[in-house]
Structure 1
Amino acid sequence: MDAGTSRSRNRRGQGELLRQEIIDAALRMLNELGDDEALSLRAVAREVGIAATSVYIHFADRDELVFAALEQSTTNLLRDLGQAEDSAGDDPVRRLRARLLFLGTWVREYSGLYKVLHESTLNRRMHLVFKEELSTRATAAVQACMDAGLAPADDAAAVALDLRAAVHGAVSIRINEPEADLPPLADQIDRFLVKLVGLRIEHVF
C-alpha cells in the first residue's frame, strides 16, 4: 500500500484483523529483504497504511513482530507440507520425498523468509520454539520408512538431522550462489535419500 494512501479505520472489535494485516505485511517485506534487521516498524506501518503507533499497540518491538511473522510462516509451511505428503499417498518413501521436494519449491518462492527463518540474527538470539515441529515431523517421516522396512533400522532423529542438514545445504547454496552450476535439486534429494536414509534406489524412483 502506498504511504500516501488513506486507510479506513477498523470497526470496533477488529483489532485482531489489523494485527493480521501487520503480520502479513511483515511477511511480504521480510521475504523481499531477506534480513530481519532491515525491517522497521515504521516501514511496516506505511505498507499497511496506518500510523506507526498503531503497530506498537500490537507489537512491543521489531523482534516481537518478526517472531509472530515467522511463527505464521511456519504454521503455513507445516500445513502445506502435510498436504504435499498426503498427495503422495500412503507409501512412506513417496511421502518423505514429496516433503523434501515441496521444501525446495517453497524455498524458491520464499527465499527471503527462508533466510530469516534459519540465518537471521533473531534466529541466533531467540529460541524459535515453533520450528521444533518441523524437526518432529521430519523425524516421524524417516521413522515411517524404517517401520515399513524400507530403510535400515537406526536412530530416526539422527538420520533426519543428517538429511535436514544436507537439504538445507543444497537449498542454501541455491539461494546464496544463484550462478552456481548445480544439478537439479530433485536429483540431489534422491541421492540424499539413498545415501543418508538408506533407501533402495528402486523405492526412491
Structure 2
Amino acid sequence: MTLGRRARSPRGSGEQLRGEIISAAMELLAEEGSSDAVSVRAVAGRVGVTPPSIYLHFADKDQLLDAVTAQAFEQLDDVLSTAGVGIDDPLERALAEGMAYVRFAIANPVLYELAFTHPATCDNGSMVDEVLATAAFLRLSRTVQALIDEGFYPPGDVVGAALELWSASHGVASLMISKPHLPWGDDLTLAENVLRAVCFGRASIAVFGSRPTEDDARAALAALRDVARMTLDEPK
C-alpha cells in the first residue's frame, strides 16, 4: 500500500521524525518477521516521507537497525524495572527480572533475535553497546549486588554473577523461540525452574563459604530433603 506524502515537519521536529522512523522499522520487523523487510524505502513509505529524509537521520540501513536494537534494549530495561517494583527479597527480585526477560523475548521474537545478532556499526561500539552498559545489564547487576549485600551471594564478581543470570534467561528464551515445538509448557514453569536453579545454586556457595565439594553438596541436599519430608509429614 502506498502512503500519502507526509506534510513538511515544523522546524525543530527532527527528533520526533527520528522516533517515528525507528517505530516504523520496528513495526515492519514484527509484521514481516525479518530484518530483510526493513529497507530504507519500506520505512520511508511507512512513515510517509521520501528516502532522503531517512538518510538525514541514519546513514544507511545498518545504522537504522542499530537504533532499533538500542530501542529494544531500552524497552527491555523498562520491563525489568517494572518487574522488580515492590519486591524486597533480592532472590525473588532476581527471579522476577529473569522471568520478565524471558517473557519479553518470547513476546518479541524478531526484535529479540535482531538485538543479539545485529553487529555494531562502529569500530568503537555503537548505541547498542551503550545501552547494554547502562540499562538492562546494570539493572541485573544492581540486583546481584543486593544479593551480595544481604548475604545471599558470596562477595566478589558482580559482573560474573549477573552474566550467569543473564545467560540463563537468554538461554531459556532463545530455545523457546528457536524450538517452539518442544514441550515447554504454557505457564513458563520450566523457565522458572531453570532460573531458580541458577539463583539458588549460586546462593549455596555463600552458605558453604567457598565452592562446595561434591560430598558437601550431597550432604546439604540430603539435609534439605529430610527437612522437606518432615514438613510434608507434619499433621495439618
Q: Shorter-chain-normalised TM-score: which range?
A: 0.7 to 0.9
**Counterpart residue type for residue 143 of structure 1:** Q
Q: 1:106 Cα deviation (Å)? A: 0.8
**Structure 1 length-normalised TM:** 0.84
Q: Does residue 96 of the first structure (1) align with residue 98 of the second (2)? A: no
Deviations 1:137-190 (Å, cap 9, x if unpaired)? Answer: 222211211210123334222122122212211110001111012353222222
Q: 1:72 Cα deviation (Å)? A: 2.2
Partner of 2:140: 138
- Within 2, Cα distance between the matches of 1:77 and 1:59? 23
Q: 1:123 Cα deviation (Å)? A: 4.9
**Pairing 1:99-114 to 2, within 5 Å after superposition:** 99-114=97-112
Deviations 1:10-33 (Å, cap 9, x if unpaired)? Answer: 223322211110011112223445
Q: 1:4 Cα deviation (Å)? A: 3.3
- Within 2, Cα distance between the matches of 1:124 and 1:178? 31
Partner of 1:193: 199
**Counterpart residue type for residue 187 of structure 1:** N
**Structure 2 length-normalised TM:** 0.74
Greater Rg by CA: 2
**Counterpart residue type for residue 173 of structure 1:** L
- Within 2, Cα distance between the matches of 1:182 and 1:110? 17
- Within 2, Cα distance between the matches of 1:197 and 1:167? 17
Aligned-CA RMSD value: 2.6
Partner of 2:210: none
**Counterpart residue type for residue 11 of structure 1:** P
- Within 2, Cα distance between the matches of 1:4 and 1:25? 13
**Counterpart residue type for residue 65 of structure 2:** V
- Within 1, Cα distance between the matches of 2:203 and 2:78? 24
Q: 1:43 Cα deviation (Å)? A: 1.1
**More deviation in 62-71 or 149-158?**
149-158
Identity of aligned residues (%): 31
Q: 1:112 Cα deviation (Å)? A: 1.0
